[in-house]
Amino acid sequence: VDKKILAGGLGMIIIGIMITFAYSDQPIGQSGMSEEEVIDLLIAEDQNQAYQMLSGILIGVGFLLILISFGFFSSGTTRSIFT
């Protein structure tokens, strides 16, 4: 197990989960909003969606790094799945 890659993967997963919890609240509009408030709401919804995508990418890449870390020997060579 390559500990550096494993630690990096775990760190990415933890940061992704933290971003998910920090931006889990959806912006909510109200009736009778002015045009400026509607624009601010649309911007907040777009930012929230971007943070959700970022957290998903971080969790996915972190999980991939964890899987890769188990494929390495301590000498630094990789195992071949075909031999």
pLDDT digits (tens, 9 = 90+) for 31-67: 889 999 999 999 999 999 999 999 999 999 999 999 8
Distance, CA of 16 to CA of 12 (rounded, Å): 6
Residue at 42: amino acid letter: L
Name the pTM for this structure: 0.73
Q: Dihedrals φ, ψ of 78, to 5°? A: -105, 150
pLDDT at 2: 78
Asked whether residue 27 carries a pLDDT value surpassing 80, the answer given is yes
